[in-house]
Chain A
Amino acid sequence: MQDQEVIREFIVESYENLSRLDQELVELEQRPKDKELLTSIFRTIHTIKGTCGFLAFSTLEKITHQAESLLSRLRDGQCELDSNIVSLILETVDATRKVLASIEATSEEGPEQFDSLTERLRAAVTGSDARQTGPAPMPSVESEATSPAPAAGSGGDRSSGVEAPKPESDAAKSSAIADANIRVGVGLLDNLMDLVGELVLARNQILQFNSEREDPALNATAQRLNLITSELQEGVMKTRMQPIGTIWNKLPRVVRDMAQALGKQIQLEMDGAETELDRTIIEAIKDPLVHLVRNSCDHGIEAPDIRSSKGKPAAGKLLLRAYHEGGQVNIEISDDGGGIDVASVRRKAIEKGMLRPEQVEKLSDRETLNLIFQPGFSTAQKVTTVSGRGVGMDVVKSHIERIGGVVDIVSQPGQGTTVKLKIPLTLAIIPGLVITSGGERFVIPQVSLLELIRLESGSSEKRIEHVHGTPVYRRRGTLLPIAHLNQVLDLNSHAQNDATNIIVLQAEDRQFGLVVDGINDTQEIVVKPLSKQLKGLSIYAGSTIMGDGRVALILDVLGIGQRSGVLSEIREQSRAAADQRTEILAEQKQRMLLFRTGSFDRLAVPLSLVSRLEEFPWDSIEKAGDTQVVQYRGRILSLLSLREILCPGDHKDKSEAQHIQVIVFSDGENSIGIVVDQILDVVEEAINIREKSTRKGLLGSAVLGGLVTDILDLNSILRSSGAGWFNGRGSEAGKRVLVASKSPFLRGLIHCSLDMAGHRVSEAGDLDETIRLLEMQPVDIVLTELDLSPRGGGELLSAVRARQEWQMLPVIGLMNPNRRANASSASTPGFSELVDIADPEAILQSVARLDSDAPIALDVERMARQER
């Protein structure tokens, strides 16, 4: 049954394509230089050929394949277009029609083989000069009675001829199929939709009117009107929406046939087939989707024996996913095949003359992958009937971009490729949450919505806390950044509410809370795109018409997040990596000194960095130059006022207290005192940094002792102080240390303590960055977290040792004592030393001990040799 359906669709579609071809070919004859026209013709023929291949119509495939080859030569400028070629292609079109008619009537292609046509097409392709083939075929064109005349007219001209089926029945049958389907212009549907919308509004008013009167006749009519309107609305909406499954249905067959033809085993999985898409979108993505699936089968998934040798199951997996996200429909086509070989793409780009070698070198892997969307690009080694002509990915891209979508490709060598289509939801109907803020109504797409929180007054002020002025809410122990919609949109804040409404939203992989004045209800809304004048406003995703006939704006959650600053940080890692990071941090217990300064009620610094806590009387402070100093243990200790650093301009009356509280930091040689208002406590707790700070002097904020606490960035404070901490140290004194850790916080802490010891520190977040930094600058010592990369710190070690110039480089492994998983990599030989990550003192000692020139380096070298 399904096959019948597919064939029927194929016929309807092909007839349409063919009538367009007639027209385009005639145009082409007049404008032979029109590349776009030629490309369009080529794609049409390509599509027909492709579909024939899957439906096993070999005669048709044979003819169209030859025609395509001819067009391909034309497109590449290998031969000139002349009227003979046009005639040949028109003849192909006619032959195709004939076969289609036969398929429609009998489900078979019919006995005719069109050998003469195929032969002449082949001659035109292979002939060095296409003209030579001209005179010969012309008479036979006539003799075969498919004269070039049909080019001008409709298919009805094909009346004479020995082998032609009766044209009347041919035409009659094609119209029989056309009768079952009426193609309606989307414009008309749009119009209907708008009219229905208006009708709904009028109905609402009538109902309102009715409820005010006691007229049974009016009441009955109103009820009936109500019913009909609802049904009409539903019906009209249905005409526009289709589940994506309608175009996925034919894919299992496509995949199966591809797999058979290529001798592969491919398992197709589909997820989200019920995702509804607008009719226009469905139409637009149909062809690209088939192209992508074919590409995955052909180029992506490897042959079973290759798969087995790589330790993968013999059957490849092809996964199609469709889902709504952030006001868009995402469609992903992923395979678990060999991935795209970036090097081969680069090579190909040079071979094809698309880019010069030096240009190619500058491209990142991602940019290189995007080259495959260029016209005429194909990495397939040979041209098959299946694919490899360099038509496909560029078609995909142009189709998707035409409807305002985006194509993205991600490929992991050896693990597979995922192509992601992001398609805007123009005219789609989505559920949305209607909210009020500043007296205006807005709609938030339900897909971005995680939860609603209502804080009753009284407790609300207490529960939205502030981290140096930024509001946050503690949601189940983690900090949620908060934005106020009134502030984001510059709306007048209305009367104080008795409760605070927080809408927890998800934008890409991050969450934030949006405070609004009121939450109304959820509604199915029709998304209408914004006019050109408003497109530039990223905070809106579109607009819609509400039940009362007024327009409401749809908020773009990502845009709101970015505008309010809660999402301003560059997202460094994927969600998986982020989870991993919090996991590491969660396990990391640290002793922290808590103190208070100025408007910062709760600040913390790792106790391990603190040398002493001191109290000095006010009158013991002296001035040396423009810095404040005290005499301390027979030396001069310069003082830094933390209040002036963190809150410049905030001058409190200093004579209030008798003494000043000072935290002394020391590296044994130099000391510096930081003046704070009050020392609070010492806590030992797992640090759970939730928010990185952009503010100078702070690393970020975390929950310590149950309260939001800002962590001091000692490193930047000491640097900015200009107190001479880092001055006067010869570059020989310190070492150049590279700290590699996934966790920015841990990096920061280690950086801080190393910096204080006079070393020059650079940070790297992953393996690649580490190697890049090593290449860029000389480094004396590398500190690496043991689980820096999925395969452990050993991976970094081998990468480093693989280079001649880095064989002597000491590499210290940072162990996480709480993680048993480290045990295996800890036993990896080759690390110069292994140190507890939470022990800054030990790290400092190791760094001090190790030196690339010191004898221990010989051990390193020996160890490295042993490893090999």
Chain B
Amino acid sequence: MLNENTSSAGTENHAVSQFSTFFVGDLFFGVDVLRVQEVLLFQQMTRVPLAPNVIEGLINLRGQIVTAIDMRRLLRLPDRATGQAPMNMVLRTEDGPVSLLVDEIGDVVDLDPGSFERPPQNVDPAGRELIRGVYKLKDRLMLVLDVEQTVDLVAERIS
């Protein structure tokens, strides 16, 4: 309430300081650790013909059907080299779990809310919509992924 401008990011920062991290290309992402349902090795998938290419397929996760979104394609990065199997990072969203295909899973990190900043203006538009902000770590920057935005963006590309 005190700080209207940063309330959406700010309040969450104070509540959340643990992030699950992952790599996509050169990018280092983090999501709220409570959002992460589980992490899986690459799974066999069912292709969805005519779906946009960011949708890699559907996974059977213990009886639940989960859509897998390729983060590389979503960020318009080049495809993975053949033989490099992606990892599934299954996240909880408002509409059930969604799996993000990422290159590699990183550590869970504890972060000081003070090192948070909103995304710089010059970030590539393909990525900026997906990023809630940036944490300045000692040796690198961690991008905070906006999960709902990511999922919505994929849905928008269809319709």
Contacts and interface: CB of A to CB of B under 8 A. Distances in A.
Contact of A531 (B46, B47, B67): B67
Interface stretch (B23-31, B49-57, B130-138): B49-57
B60 interface: yes
Contacts of A549: 60
B151 A534 contact: no
A55 interface: no
The A interface, classified by DSSP as helix, strand, loop or mixed, is mixed
B147 to A, nearest CB: 13
B89 to A, nearest CB: 16
B75 interface: no
A489 B50 contact: yes
Chain B binding surface SS class: mixed
A534 B158 contact: yes
Nearest to B159: A536
Contacts of A163: none
B121 interface: no
Contacts of B151: 532-533
Nearest to B62: A198
A535 B155 contact: yes
Contacts of B71: none
Interface in B3-55: 44-51, 55
B67 A490 contact: no
A198 B63 contact: yes
A551 interface: yes
Interface in A515-557: 528, 531-537, 539-540, 543, 545, 549-553
Nearest to A191: B63
Given A543-B65, A550-B60, A440 B158 contact: no
Contacts of A681: none
Contacts of B63: 193-195, 197-198, 545
Interface residues of B, number: 28
A842 interface: no
Contacts of B51: 534, 537
Interface in A174-232: 193-195, 197-198
B65 A539 contact: no
A545 B60 contact: yes
Nearest to A440: B47
Contacts of A539: 50
A343 interface: no
Nearest to B96: A531
Contacts of A802: none
A479 to B, nearest CB: 27
B60 A534 contact: no
A533 B66 CA distance: 10
A491 interface: yes
B139 interface: no
11 contacts: A194-B62, A198-B63, A533-B69, A534-B48, A534-B67, A535-B155, A536-B159, A543-B65, A550-B44, A551-B46, A551-B58
Interface of B: 44-51, 55, 57-60, 62-67, 69, 95-96, 98, 151, 154-155, 158-159
Sort A-B residue pairs by CB-CB distance and give the 4 closest, nearest first.
Answer: A194-B63, A536-B158, A536-B159, A489-B49
Given A194-B62, A533-B67, A536-B155, 8 more contacts: A197-B63, A531-B66, A533-B98, A534-B55, A534-B158, A550-B60, A551-B59, A553-B46
